[in-house]
Structure 1
Amino acid sequence: MPSRRTLLAGAAGLVAGGGLVADRVRLGELDAWTPDVDTWPLPRYDLANTASVPDVSVPEDPAVDWTASVEPPSHALLQSLVVGSDRVYAGAGSLAAVDRTDGSRVWEDETPVRALSRRGGRLFAAGGTDETASVTAYDAATGERAWARDLPASPVGLTVAAGMVLTATRIGSVAREQGTGIRRWGGEAPDLQTQPLVHDGALFGHDGYELARFRSRSVLDVPLRAPPAAEWRTVAQGGRVSAPVGVGSRVLVPVQQRGFQTDAGAPALRAVGATTGEVAWRAVTTDDRDTFLTTQHAAVDAARNRAYAGVYRQWVGEPTSGEGFRATVRAFALEDGTVAWTHEAGTGRFVRDVVFAGGRVLVATARNEGATGGRAGDVRALDPADGRERWRVGFDAPVGALAPVDGTVFALTGTGTVAALR
């Protein structure tokens, strides 16, 4: 396979008689987009979903400096937060752009949002139900709509690469030109039911059962608007991938287990070879069929050769008590998946987000409905050396998304509150 060919490219043109002009078919290199450390432009910061900005500063003893609001999401997980050089963009039951300095509202749109991405002077938002799903490009400064297009189903992930806006939905994916919104490929395949991953010159996604690495689109695929074909697939073993993470020659696969009975030995986190799909290691497994494990949102700490992720366990005997969950944050060695330390996030509590920034592991938590004790949600900073808690800011609502930039940690709660911690 040609190395680092773009996976999302479209045709640059056809000759008048319908023949293909090979040198005008845009199959260029996949762009190596490294976001500015002073921004948070994608749901997991970069194309590799690392959620890692080690060089940015974070506060040492923060308090809430300002708050702004959007309409609350219809579901706790349906919210997104990205940050540009001067704006914070929050998407939930509606979309709002607020000033990064003081939280004053700059513009807003009533459209419900599930996923956001910011690039090249534009904000891209995907949202809606299966009946109303769409992706929209806004002028990031003014909120003016540049284009809006329908989606085949409710979106679950959004990324921008190689001049294309790739939206993953519940039953398929669509790639559209960043500037015009013209569809270059899409449909039920590839079925990417997670935040897309671009790593090792390839597109990776998950269809609810298998992680797949996709091939470059061929010269014939382009005029036919055919989607890329899978180069390999590997079964997730027990559940759905949350957001795969690219690091070095591997892909980390966080798994959300399905149901209350886990397959024996099913891992909550595993690593596979980016080129081969072969499993390198499995971590946090259980042979106890009365529990199930879930990992969400791994963040990479390359300097320490670690990844940090929230892991929770639920006991079948207490599925509705609210206290049947035990959440932790764990530090995994990238080499073999061994656990270096464990932070107890609390019984009856979820870990909704984990990012690594400025020498701290930042964690967003949410108390499960029916559970007692502690605030409804909080943001915590952990020491990456040993997992000790360095500070905590509590909220009267679950916290669902974090974005650290330039001495500030922005947080979005389940009631639609955007908070700046400084």
Structure 2
Amino acid sequence: MLALTQGPDDSHLTLHHLDAASGERLGHPSVPLDAGLDLHGPSGLLLKAEDRLVSASDARTGDLRWTEDGDTFTAAGDLVLLDGGRALFGETGEQVWERPDLFPTGGPGLAVGEDILVYESGDNGPDLVFRHADTGEAVWRGPFLRDEPEFGAPLPPLESLVADTTVLLPPLAGERERPTAVDALTGEPRWTYEGAYGEDGRVASVPGAFVLSTGEATVCLAAADGAERWRDDAGDTGAVRTTDAFAVLYRTKDERVFRRWTTVRILDAEDGRERWTGQFDSTDVSAPATGDGLTVVLDQGGTVWALRV
């Protein structure tokens, strides 16, 4: 397991390598604040952009696998996209194709079937683009947001927008006035969510469905047709994160003077039943990671909690 923390003096980041089963620390190298860092899932390689060089190393041992000139990178399925429109095979660093119309932005891309979904720079704000992974040819392109996101505000992870082959797009871009589901492979509309939704319209995905915070409740919608699968009526949920099996709901509020607690509730993604609930003496708790039957979260104090749900 990898965890990235920032030191108290804000001078550097620390990358913690931990044994997932025992929590034993295997290493903790220092990382510059301005370095780009991401884990390339299909190859298990750790990608880093530093000093105009993109490198890939074994995440477990630190052994260097390949390097390539570049300022930034975007992981997308089996590929790593570099500035200049280049696409490399992530495991070896071999160039697969080059496209002058490729301008990735935001977070990592996502493999959907045999191809990739990527955030790219558009005319006014970020676009969502679906490309053939073997050639880089664009299949469809559409606006994701009407304007550029606020400074420092990240775009939502693409995996949170995709369930099966359906993409659920937020409102307020192009002609969309409500959250709208489209076919990921063609870009054709499938259904529109007509119920209430939160101010930002953001969603999270679980297998075959989407979880949407409406402000008054949390609802789970089937990806195929938008039918409501379940509803949780706790109206004070601040954020929703998901794993393959669970929807994880977060609520942070003042419990006592100068003290804030975060309540975390873990619901079954299939039927919405509560499987675990607990409070953390922290204003922030990370998104969940899973492995070996455990659900793992990191609190603001740097403590890793492994939960057997």
Say whether 1:354 aligns with 2:242.
yes
Matched residue of 1:420: which SS? strand
CA distance in 2, matches of 1:174, 1:421: 41
Are the counterparts in 2 of residues 96 and 108 from structure 1 also a CA contact under 8 Å? yes
Alignment CA distance shift 1:334-1:415 (3 Å)? same
Cα deviation code 1:364-400 (max 9, x no counterpart): 5363xxx535964344221345423221133233222
Q: Which residue of 1 aligns with 2:27?
A: 107
Give, in angstroms, the shift of residue 280 of structure 1.
0.5
Are the counterparts in 2 of residues 98 and 106 from structure 1 also a CA contact under 8 Å? yes
CA distance in 2, matches of 1:413, 1:172: 38
Q: Which residue of 2 aligns with 1:72?
A: 6
Match of 2:222 among 313, 333, 346: 333
Cα deviation code 1:251-297 (max 9, x no counterpart): 32343x67xxx9996233x321233211101225669xxx7232143
Match of 2:211 among 309, 320, 323: 309
Q: Which residue of 1 aligns with 2:190?
A: 280
Q: Summarize the alignment of residues 147-296 of structure 1 with structure 2, pairs less than 5 Å apart.
A: 147-149=66-68, 151-153=70-72, 158-161=75-78, 164-166=79-81, 175-184=87-96, 185=98, 189-207=102-120, 208-215=125-132, 228-236=136-144, 242-244=157-159, 246-248=162-164, 250-255=165-170, 266-268=177-179, 270-283=180-193, 292-296=199-203
Give, in angstroms, the shift of residue 233 of structure 1.
1.6
Give, in angstroms, the shift of residue 230 of structure 1.
1.5
Alignment CA distance shift 1:400-1:138 (3 Å)? same
Match of 1:402 among 272, 288, 299: 288
* Structure 1 vs Structure 2 CA RMSD: 4.0
- The TM-score normalised by the length of structure 1 is 0.55
Aligned identity (percent) is 24
Alignment CA distance shift 1:70-1:264 (3 Å)? closer
- The TM-score normalised by the length of structure 2 is 0.72
Are the counterparts in 2 of residues 108 and 143 from structure 1 also a CA contact under 8 Å? no
- Unaligned 5+ runs, structure 1: 1-39, 41-67, 75-91, 219-227, 313-325
Matched residue of 2:139: which SS? strand
CA distance in 2, matches of 1:415, 1:231: 45
CA distance in 1, matches of 2:47, 2:264: 25
CA distance in 2, matches of 1:151, 1:119: 21
Number of aligned pairs? Answer: 285
Alignment CA distance shift 1:230-1:381 (3 Å)? same
Higher relative contact order (CA 8 A, sep 6+): 1
Say whether 1:299 aligns with 2:206.
yes
CA distance in 2, matches of 1:134, 1:396: 40
- Unaligned 5+ runs, structure 2: 148-154
Matched residue of 2:23: which SS? coil
CA distance in 1, matches of 2:305, 2:100: 37
Paired AA for residue 71 in structure 1? T
